[in-house]
Structures are given as C-alpha cells and as structure tokens.
Amino acid sequence: MGDTYLNLVNSGVTAKIAKQLGLPQPAPLRRYRPGAPLLGGPALVVGTGADADGVAALLSRTWDVEVHRHATPELRYAAVVLVLTQVSHPDELSAPVLAAAGVLRSLSRGGRVVTLSREATADDAPAVAAARQGVDGLLRSLAKELRGGSTGNGIVMAGDVAADAPSVVGALRFFLSTRSAFVDGQLLTVSSGAGTLPETWERPLEGRVAVVTGAARGIGESIADTLARDGATVVAVDMPSAGEQLTRVANRVRGTALQLDVTADDAGTRILEHALARHGRLDIVVHNAGITRDKLLANMSPDKWDSVLAVNIAAQLRINEALLTSGDFTDAPRIVSLASTSGIAGNRGQTNYAASKGGVIGMVRATAPLLEAFGGTANAVAPGFIETEMTARIPAVTRQVARRLNSLQQGGQPVDVAEAVAFLASPAAGGVVGRVLRVCGQNMVGQ
C-alpha cells in the first residue's frame, strides 16, 4: 500500500514547496538488506565505566564499527549509544547527555540513538530511581526531536542483568540496525540473562520451525517471509477461504500451508500435529491472525463483539494451552502475539478490538512465566499505523491524518512489524519476557 504524499515531498519541486509551507516532510526509511553493514558510518559511545567500555568493544571488535569515545563535532555519526547504567543521581546525566547532544545535528539520515540504562524500582534510593527513570523521559523526548528517519530507543536492564547479557546485545543490535526502521521512542526491558547469541546474525532462526497464523496476506505474509529469510522453516496458517494465497506464500518461503480457522476447538493440536508430522518440531508460534469489526459500543451487536474476541484473543489462549500441555513445545519455545496500540491507548469505535488487544498484552505477561522453565518466552508486538489492506479501508482523509501522527510522520510497512517479531522469536531475545514492543514510529497516542 503506497503513501503518495511521502513520495511527493521527497522529490524535486514538491519537496521545496512542502518545506516553504512548513508541511510534514517524512523521510523515506532505510530497511534491512541481508549483507549490508550494521551501520553506514562511525558510532559515538558515551558514558564511563565497564559497561560503556564493553559496549564500545562489542561494536568495534565484534561488529566492525568505527567507534569514538569522544565526539568529533564535524563528523557525521551513524549512531550514538548512551551508556547510562551507572548513574546514581540526576546530576550525573548531564555530562554524557550533553556530550551526545553536540553531534545530533549532524547525525546521518536514518541515524540511531540508543540508551542503555537500569530499571528504576521502589527499592532504589530516591536519587538512583530518579536518575534511572529520568532516562525514560529523556529518551522519549529525544526520539521526538530526531529528524531524517532517525530513531531513538532504549534498553532497560532489570535487576542484576549484565550489559553483555544475550538479550541486551541482541536488543542493541536490533535497535542499531535497519531492522528497527519503524520502532521509535521505545524502551525495551531485559528481565534476565537468558537467551543465546546466534551463530550468525544474518540467519538467527536457522533450524527452528515457526507457525504464523493469518499468513496469507498483510503483516502475516511479511512475517512468514522474514522468519524464512532469517532461517526458520515456516508453517503458514490461514482460513480455507484464503487457501490459494496461502499456498502461494507457503511455496515462496519453502514452508508448508495449513488451512485452519484458528477459532476451531482443536486448532492447537492440529497446528502441533502438522508441525511435528511435516517438520519434526515446533519452536515458534506467531499469533498474527486478527480481525476488526468497528462500531461505537452503543451500536455494537453481539456478533461483532464476539467474533473479534474469538479470533483475536480466545483462539490464542486455547492454542497456547494446547501447546503448553503437549510436552512438545519445550526447547526454548517462543510465542509472539500481535497486539495493537489501540489495546494500549484505546481507539474510538474499537472497544471490542481494544479489549482483545489489551487482552493479548495481559496474556503474554501471564504466559511468559509458564515458558521460562524451558528457556521460553511470550511477548507481544503492538503495531501502530501499518500500510495494509486493513488500514487501506480507512476513509482517505482520516488515513492521511492517522499515518502522520507519529514521530516518523508516516505509516509503517508490514516488514517493520515482521522484523520486531523475528527479533523476539530469536535466540538472543530469551531474556525479554512478557513485554510489549511497539512498532509505531512513536505514535502520539498511548505511552
């Protein structure tokens, strides 16, 4: 689905007119291409102490990035990493933050700012908690100031999680890379040192078998493509009525198709039986199938309410229960569910949809502990405005406004959601449990 305005304001004379009129000028986002270098220029790593030294060494020695520890103002940096894990008083934010400030004006297009900090808890001394929580506010505001398709995101380390824990390293790579093109203004908490670094960052899902529901089109189709690109064998699931499109997707990713209504009572066992019979195992389940039946609650019919809840949340609960009790979903399994910013911030006309998507967020939080014993995780991805058939049905003017209401001033592409799903499904994300990662360009609604 295209964004004509974005193309217009980035070409020749119309770009000039848009600038003179002060109209939004969304920058085309750079997206991941296998084989491309992690960053297109040097990175500045600010902060002192062992964590900052470790991050600098990781970037320069392991990831082959040119790293500077002090800003050279005239240089164009591709990324700035602010390591703020040692701050114990708000006063200590000043030096590292202002050191980074000096290079922001000349950050490359599609540049990256990533903060690394520790979680603020009620057990901290007040000054420590103030400094740590201050990083959240700083990051969210800075992300709103960046231009040219640049993004700002943060990694928050809970408890005694080390800065070299697999999920900290994995999240850092994800946020620095073009895989996170439409993730902006987000803070992702790493709860534990679980997870493993992949043998290759290009194909982290090698040897894993993944089921993707709603895979015949839209975001689900892109998730199937992306997981297969990252090395997974994919079982593409969708309604029998979408059979032809489903076969096309399954063939393209060299996986298999399973025609199935996810609301069927036996959907969980059928998914598991198919995966075991055809591929010998099941490691990753992506609950993507979803529907909308929008109406103001005052006009809501039981059918509209019940069908949305049945597909978007009840089916996921039933399938998860079948998998968790089967004894065949125990080798570092991953569940990734599609939530929505509507389930966080609410949306007029979507009480049924938001109840189901809020439900997804509650479900992953409560399901994650059940999987932790097997090195497993459950997490959610909450897309904002994504250019799909679902959003193409929104009336034109509302659609134009809706897709500009985020820091990147554009809608995301299905692949942006798929990249976040692939990250959460990867071995390196084993320490990210029960969380929600928004893929919304830092939508103005919600937190």
* Active-site residue list: 353
Please identify, using beta-carbon distances, which residue of 3 and 119 lies nearer to ligand NAD.
3
Q: Mind giving me the DSSP string for 265-323?
A: TTHHHHHHHHHHHHHS---EEEE-------B-GGG--HHHHHHHHIIIIIHHHHHHHHH
Residue 443 touches ligand NAD, criterion: CB under 6 A: no
Reference 225, options 274, 239, 1, 234; nearest CA is: 234
Residue 389 touches ligand NAD, criterion: CB under 6 A: yes
Alpha helices in 177-242 (DSSP H): 218-229
Give the shortest CB-223-to-ligand NAD separation in angstroms. Answer: 9
Please identify, using beta-carbon distances, which residue of 279 and 318 lies nearer to ligand NAD.
318
Instruction: Return the residue of 39, 65, 71, 386 that touches ligand NAD, per CB under 6 A.
Output: 386
Instruction: Return the residue of 29, 176, 262, 344 that touches ligand NAD, per CB under 6 A.
Output: 262
Print the binding letters for residues 295-324 with ligand NAD: x by CB under 6 A, - otherwise.
----------------x-------------
Instruction: Return the residue of 118, 179, 217, 438 that touches ligand NAD, per CB under 6 A.
Output: 217
Taking the CA of residue 17 as centre, how many other CA atoms within 13 Å lie in the half-sphere pointing to its CB? 7
Reference 276, options 215, 352, 209, 182; nearest CA is: 209
Instruction: Return the residue of 185, 376, 383, 434 that touches ligand NAD, per CB under 6 A.
Output: 383
> Are 201 and 188 spatial neighbours (Cβ–Cβ below 8 Å)?
no
Please identify, using beta-carbon distances, which residue of 311 and 368 lies nearer to ligand NAD.
311
What distance, in Å, lies between the first and last C-alpha atoms of the chain?
27
Residue 242 touches ligand NAD, criterion: CB under 6 A: yes
Residue 241's Cα: distance from chain center in Å?
A: 29
Positions in 277-296 near ligand NAD (CB under 6 A) = 288-291
Please identify, using beta-carbon distances, which residue of 77 and 385 lies nearer to ligand NAD.
385
Give the shortest CB-190-to-ligand NAD separation in angstroms. Answer: 24
Using the contact rule CB under 6 A, the part of the chain among 125-133, 208-216, 328-336, 372-380 near ligand NAD is 208-216
Instruction: Return the residue of 25, 86, 263, 330 that touches ligand NAD, per CB under 6 A.
Output: 263
Give the shortest CB-287-to-ligand NAD separation in angstroms. Answer: 8
Q: Is 23 left (phi over 0), alpha (psi -120 to 50) or beta?
A: beta
Total interface residues for ligand NAD by CB under 6 A: 27
Q: At what angle do helices 302-309 and 351-372 cross, to 10 degrees?
A: 20
Long-range contacts of 340-344 (CB under 8 A, 24+ apart): 340/382, 340/383, 341/382, 341/383, 341/384, 341/438, 341/440, 341/443, 341/445, 341/446, 343/382, 344/382, 344/436, 344/438, 344/446, 344/447
**Distance between CA atoms of residues 181 and 439, nearest Å:** 9
Give the shortest CB-411-to-ligand NAD separation in angstroms. Answer: 7
Residue 51 touches ligand NAD, criterion: CB under 6 A: no
**Distance between CA atoms of residues 283 and 335, nearest Å:** 9
Residue 149 touches ligand NAD, criterion: CB under 6 A: no
Angle at 275 between CA 270 and CA 276, to 5 degrees: 100
Please identify, using beta-carbon distances, which residue of 165 and 319 lies nearer to ligand NAD.
319
Residue 340 touches ligand NAD, criterion: CB under 6 A: yes
Residues that bind ligand NAD (CB under 6 A): 213-214, 216-220, 238-239, 242, 261-263, 288-291, 311, 338, 340, 383, 385-386, 388-391
